[in-house]
Amino acid sequence: MQLDFRQVREDEADVYLALMHAAYAPVKALGIKFDAATADRAMALHHLQSHGVYALYADEKMVSSATVRYPWGPLPGPFGLPHIGWFGAHPDYPGQHFGCQVLEWIEQEILTGQLRAPAVSLGTATSHPWLQAMYLKRGFQPMHTRDLGKGHITLYMKKILDPAAHDVWLRRQTAEQGSAP
């Protein structure tokens, strides 16, 4: 099987939307309201235009994807760090670990290799039966919860990618918060 990782192009909006709907169908069935589960084509296209959206292709078929939302973008995460969103793997490929593979590639190539990010965050529903445990296994740590008005409580999690850079970032964050008016 030929595996290829790359950024999703705007002309792939329909394929991307189909992947997100398939990946999020079990979440939607649980009654959890993640935006990717109900996005329409216009939302998917706007998402592709506003964020770094990357996918894993197996034999040229998009099988998993994750988004990197930037701190300077239109939908920053809660910590001033890159934030993972709209993450999913196609359910037709159980046991292939395509979701974990795309996350690992994004962490190594984009977040660490290109952005030199000290850490990354993500959010998940506290009521989701398996995502929190999966993210804990991948090195994410719970930070805080928030009600975003979507019918569930969001748990924000953070993963340190570069401990030394994270210490510098954390000191800067603390100093900036201490000097805020």
Give CA angle at 40 (38, 44), nearest 5°: 105
For residue 88, list its beta bridge partners: 65
Closest CA to 16 of 33, 50, 40: 40
How buried is residue 23: exposed, middle or buried, by Cβ count under 10 Å (0-12/13-18/19+)?
buried
In the three-class reduction of DSSP (H, G, I as helix; E, B as strand; rest coil), residue 113 is classed as helix
Per-residue pLDDT of the chain (181 residues; tens, 9 = 90+): 899 999 999 999 999 999 999 999 988 888 888 889 899 999 999 999 999 999 999 999 999 999 999 999 999 999 999 999 999 999 999 999 999 999 999 999 999 999 999 999 999 999 888 899 999 999 999 999 999 888 889 999 999 999 999 999 999 988 888 765 5
Domains of the chain, each with CATH number or no CATH: 3-176 (3.40.630.30)
